[in-house]
Amino acid sequence: MIPAMSVLVAVLLPGLALSSLSPFNQPAHPDTVRRVIKVMASSGYLWLLGEEGALYHLDLSSRQLTRDSALGKVADLAAGSGGRLLALSVRAGRTLILDERGNWKTATVVPTTPADTVLVLGVLGPRRAVLTTAAVLVEVREGDWRRRALQGNSRLGSLQPSAMWSNDGSLYVGQDFGEFGGNLWRISLGTGRVTEAVRRKTLDPRMDPVTAVIRDPSDGRCVLAAVGLLHMGMAIGRIIRVCGDSISVPFQEPCPLEPGASRAFQRMCSVPVFGLAEGKDGFWAVTPFGVLRFDRRSICERHPMPKLEDVGGVLMSRDVLGVLLVATDINWKASVSGLTPLIAAVDQ
């Protein structure tokens, strides 16, 4: 077992009571998954998407980890209608949406072009939308896709794929560039127009890394976006709610500090949020300090970060009922953060 706080915060933030134990104990499993960019739970498995497009599944009963190499290079995962898992993949030069049902043998071909680099998958009921670096493609009806070239200046791409199709016809896409910032983009599925969902001067002079985006359970026209950054003693985070042009912050808290910490540090340190997951009658959020469950808008449960264990080569915990927690070093790629947590909701 590995102390979660020393695992998830590799840099000792000034004033925080953290262990000095090594943040990265080497699991013995030969197929270790470290640089995970997305996790989801379905059908008794924990699905893990790696940075290079490799998809793995961990059998939660047998604790066996397997790579699903037949899927090709997977760009994103999303929950389809009925809760089934969908994978956006590029295989043999074709862009495919693969369905977990039937052992990934059901495939929908997305008519991308050689100029497209596939980024994220959005789902609204039975319909799908695919964002590339050049266009957004929307499934008007089964097998019939409409393509709209992107309009507007944007630097699409991210360390982690995060996107949500809202009921107002927009695809919200998060960007996480670690210490180099991030953004939350709103893309019109009707026109392809790309705009900043959070204007630069409304909350901050610049937007910080957006690590996750989910649909607001209280209003399908709105989305919730997690902001999280750990870098060289700095911690920044919050949850942003975007509903059209209305922006609010339903969660932002100062870091838990030791007595006597400087007021200057207290002002600059806010709890970073590294994952969101839709849940029954609300949603979940994970920070390096613990797990929060929200009943619509307000916090109704708080859980300290549990200890993580090596399960088949995955650093994870099942101790919080309703979610799975996984450690990843993807943010370490672009910030001095150490490991950070991801979260997946599970059926109870």
CATH number for 141: 2.130.10.10
Query: From the centroid of its chain, how far is CA 246?
Result: 23
CA angle 158, 159, 165 (to 5 degrees): 50
* Helix or strand holding residue 210 (H, E): strand 210-215
Does residue 20 lie within any of the structural domains? no
Least confident piece of the model among 61-65, 70-74, 216-220, 265-269: 265-269
The total of structural domains in the chain comes to 1
Does 62 map to a domain? yes
Q: Which domain holds residue 176?
A: 4-12+37-345
Residue 318 lies in a domain: yes
Note whether residue 23 is domain-resident.
no
Name the band, by pLDDT with cuts 50, 70 and 90, for residue 14.
very low
Judge residue 132's burial from the number of C-beta atoms within 10 Å of its C-beta, 0-12 exposed, 13-18 middle, 19 or more buried: buried
pLDDT greater than 90 at residue 12: no
The pLDDT-based confidence of 21 (bands split at 50, 70, 90) is very low
Domain contains 31 = no
Task: Please give the angle made by the CA atoms of 214, 276 and 208, to the nearest 5 degrees.
Answer: 85
Contacts of 29 (CB under 8 A, 6+ apart): 65, 310, 312, 313
Domain assignment of residue 18, yes or no: no
Mean pLDDT of the chain: 86
This prediction's pTM? 0.88
Whether the per-residue pLDDT at 272 is higher than 60: the answer is: yes
Does 199 score more than 70 pLDDT? Answer: no
Residue 287 pLDDT more than 60?
A: yes
Question: How far is residue 152 CA from its own chain's centroid?
Answer: 24
Return the pLDDT at 337. Answer: 78
Q: Please give the radius of gyration of the chain, using alpha carbons only, rounded to the nearest integer.
A: 19
Tell me which of 106-115, 119-128, 211-220, 249-258 is least confident.
249-258
pLDDT interval class at 348 (50, 70, 90): low
Higher per-residue confidence, 197 vs 62: 62
Q: 135-163: per-residue pLDDT in tens? A: 999 999 888 999 999 998 777 889 899 99
